[in-house]
Structure 1
Amino acid sequence: MPADRDAAHDGTADCLRGRLCRERLDLGSKSERLAVLLVVDDGDRVVLRRAGANPFRDPELEALEGQVLIVEGERRSSYFLVRRYTVCGDDPPSSG
């Protein structure tokens, strides 16, 4: 069991905070789908994929649409692999 933990945490862990939304991606391709994205403070949109979940549909994350989340995991080439997340509510990502 400790070996799995080490493999999952290879030193590339990252943390993002933003509002969860869904947008249609890959229009016109076989991969076209309504994807879960995190909109971070600078307006960047990052596709989220929860470790062990279906990459095309994740009802657990979809149910959190509109909520502010902190996600921990690893950046990959075209998405962010979420290892764990925390719901912060529906407050804006930064207060002012």
Structure 2
Amino acid sequence: MPADAEAPTPDGPTERLRGRLCRERVDAGSKSERVALLLALTGGGRVALRRAGANPFRDPELEALEGQVLIVEGERRERYFLVRHYRVGDDDDGASG
């Protein structure tokens, strides 16, 4: 089992991701086009974040953390990562990209 994976939950396997929170336009040219919160991963990938129990289109709690390094735990879904828990990380851990 990878170091960042944990025991499965009823919703799916729990993962831990680390990256810098940013806002970018997603789904350009479609009805779903919007500016979304993304986690820019240290490996160069990006994943849309949605906090469990929060509004999927506007999350002031996460928006306030834009530009910071986050460590998020949750489940990967088809088009986003469902965040169950998060914490602010340190820039000096090499996560700044």
Using structure 2 for the length normalisation, give the TM-score.
0.80
Unaligned runs of 5+ in 2: 1-8
1:94 maps to: 94
Q: CA deviation at 1:74?
A: 0.2
Give the alignment's Cα RMSD to 1 decimal: 1.6
Structure showing greater Rg: 1
Letter in 1 for 2:79: S
Give me the whole-angstrom Cα distance separating, in 2, the residues matched to 1:60 and 1:44: 23
1:22 maps to: 23
1:4 maps to: none
Q: Kindly indicate whether the alpha-carbon contact (under 8 Å) linking 1:68 and 1:93 is maintained by their aligned counterparts in 2.
A: no
Distance 1:48 1:57, change over 3 A: same
Q: CA deviation at 1:18?
A: 0.4
Give me the whole-angstrom Cα distance separating, in 1, the residues matched to 2:16 and 2:44: 16
Letter in 1 for 2:72: V
Structure whose residues are more often strand by fraction: 2
Aligned length: 86
Letter in 2 for 1:26: D
Q: Could you give the per-residue CA deviations for residues 3-57 of structure 1, whole angstroms, max 9, x where no partner exists?
A: xxxxxx3351000000000001122333221100001111100000000111111
The aligned runs of 1:38-77 (5 Å cut-off) are: 38-77=39-78
Q: CA deviation at 1:92?
A: 5.4
Structure whose residues are more often helix by fraction: 1
Runs of 4+ in structure 1 off by over 4 angstroms are: none
| Percent identity (aligned) | 70
Using structure 1 for the length normalisation, give the TM-score.
0.81
Give me the whole-angstrom Cα distance separating, in 2, the residues matched to 1:67 and 1:87: 7
Distance 1:27 1:62, change over 3 A: same
